[in-house]
Amino acid sequence: MADIAPAAKIIDGKVYAERLREQVAREVTRLRADYNLQPGLAVVLVGDDAASQIYVRSKGEHSLAVGMHSVTHRLPADVSQVELLRLVGELNADPAIHGILVQLPLPKGFDEQAVIAAISPDKDVDGLHVVNAGRLANGVPALTPCTPLGCMIMLREAVGDLSGLRAVVVGRSVLVGRPIAQLLLQADCTVTIAHSRTRDLPAVCREADILVAAVGRPRMIRGDWIKPGAAVIDVGINRVPFDDPIKAAAGRTKVVGDVHYKEASQVAGWITPVPGGVGLMTVAVLLQNTVTAAKRIAGLD
**Catalytic sites, residue numbers:** 59, 103, 126
300 to 1, 168, 285, 293: CA distances (angstroms) = 39, 36, 19, 10
Cis peptide before 202 (omega within 30 of 0): no
Q: Counting runs of H as helices and runs of E as strands, what totals does the chain give?
A: 11, 11
The residues facing 239 across adjacent strands are: 255
Burial of 296 (0-12, 13-18, 19+ CB in 10 A): middle
Q: Give the CA distances from residue 137 to residues 122, 140, 153, in Å, rounded to whole numbers and listed in that order.
A: 16, 8, 19
Q: Is 181 helix (H, G, I), strand (E, B) or coil?
A: helix
Q: How far apart are CA 198 and CA 202, in angstroms?
A: 9
Task: End-to-end CA distance of the chain: give it in Å, rounded.
Answer: 36
Q: How far apart, in whole angstroms, are the C-alpha atoms of residue 118 and residue 111?
A: 11
